[in-house]
Amino acid sequence: MANTWKMPAWFYRLGSPRWSFEIMGKLLPWFVIAAVVLMSFGLIWGLAFAPADYQQGNSFRIIYIHVPSAVLAQSCYMLMAVAGAISLIWKMKVADMVAKSCAPIGATLAVLALATGAIWGKPTWGTWWVWDARLTSMLILLFLYVGVYTLHSAIENEITAGKAGAVLALVGMVNIPIIKYSVEWWNTLHQGSTFTVTERPKMPPEMWIPLLVMVVGFYCFFTVVLMLRTRAEILKREKRTGWVKELVEAH
């Protein structure tokens, strides 16, 4: 008798709008606390106590915003693509809601990464912008986010909009390794990765530890915003269901 491969039970539970709404409500306070604590700690340490860079001086401190936003902009896109794929394959409404919610958040992160990169580039490279491979691929990432968001906004049918957005997100995944390895593949002005899995950080601990704290804090903050947007999307789409009507009446 042939064995059939099945996804774990929790995976299917995530497909329930009501269960997802409730579990996100329980997790929200913890991620809010973590985000506030980690980002406050990382910013204060990085901006006030970390030593100045021997080449860039105090201008390097922009990395405590630039690096987390750039890293998270890419992670958010991968999550959007994975959620879109789950929506296409397993027809999960919650996955489509997550994918839709990721688009404006990711676009904001991409803008923040590009803006802080420009602020960093002016004193470092002498110009606000160059058509560097890393910068150009990050700009393309922003356009992809805008494209997915536009599809969801322009197409009235939610199912059709979700499919179109998911396809664009999956096609755009080819841009992620380009962003990641552009510094290695081409001769670019942009410096290499600050953190790697196989090598020790190139900065002293008093500089990279607050940066690592900021990265984790950004992820917690992103989780908070994503859960808030997804919960709002669940209420919008499930407004005719009994449990949402009961929830509205109770409040």
Higher local confidence (pLDDT), 202 or 26: 26
The mean pLDDT value for 15-21 works out to 93
Contacts of residue 140, defined as CB under 8 A and 6 or more positions apart, other chains included, come to 175
- The residue with tokens 């670019």 is 188
- pTM (two decimals): 0.91
Lowest mean pLDDT among 10-24, 30-44, 198-212: 198-212
Q: Which of 157, 84, 62, 76 is nearest to 110 (CA)?
A: 76
Torsion sign (Cα): 245, 247, 248, 249: positive
Please, are residues 164 and 202 in contact by the beta-carbon 8 Å criterion?
A: no
Query: Is 211's pLDDT higher than 80?
Result: yes
Lowest mean pLDDT among 2-6, 13-17, 42-46, 235-239: 2-6
Contacts of residue 145, defined as CB under 8 A and 6 or more positions apart, other chains included, come to 77, 103, 104, 106, 107, 110
What does the pLDDT look like over 92-120, one tens digit per residue?
999 999 999 999 999 999 999 999 988 88
The pLDDT-based confidence of 190 (bands split at 50, 70, 90) is low
Q: What is the pLDDT of residue 126?
A: 78
Q: What is the pLDDT of residue 189?
A: 57
Please, are residues 64 and 207 in contact by the beta-carbon 8 Å criterion?
A: no
What does the pLDDT look like over 151-173, one tens digit per residue?
999 999 999 999 999 999 999 99
Mean pLDDT, rounded, of the chain: 89
